[in-house]
Amino acid sequence: VHEATLTGGVGAEIAAFITEHAFEYLDAPVRRLASIDTPVPFSPPLEAYFMPNTEKIAGALRELLSY
């Protein structure tokens, strides 16, 4: 989980490294959760949608646990 955008963010590089070097040790796919690929909005409601939040994190965790 990180606040940078999904594409080109640090999480993408970490996920690529893990997938490339440790794929045979993974029990589930690498799951990235980050901000959506848009400019950061100024409006508070749009910013809340843009950023990862507890609901998005919980959903990603449920997805991984059900794999």
What are 48-60's pLDDT values in tens digits? 899 999 999 999 9
Token readout for 40 is 């950061």
Average pLDDT over every residue of 28-33: 92
Cα angle value 55/65/59 (rounded, 5°):
15
Cα angle value 29/11/13 (rounded, 5°):
90
**Both ends of the chain: CA-CA distance in Å?**
18
Q: Give pTM, 2 decimals.
A: 0.76
Q: Is the pLDDT of residue 9 over 90?
A: no
8 φψ region: left (φ > 0), alpha (ψ -120 to 50), beta (else): left
* pLDDT-based confidence at residue 63 (cuts at 50, 70, 90): very high
Identify the structural domains of the chain with CATH numbers, from first to last. 10-65 (3.40.50.920)
Percentage of the chain beyond pLDDT 70 is 100
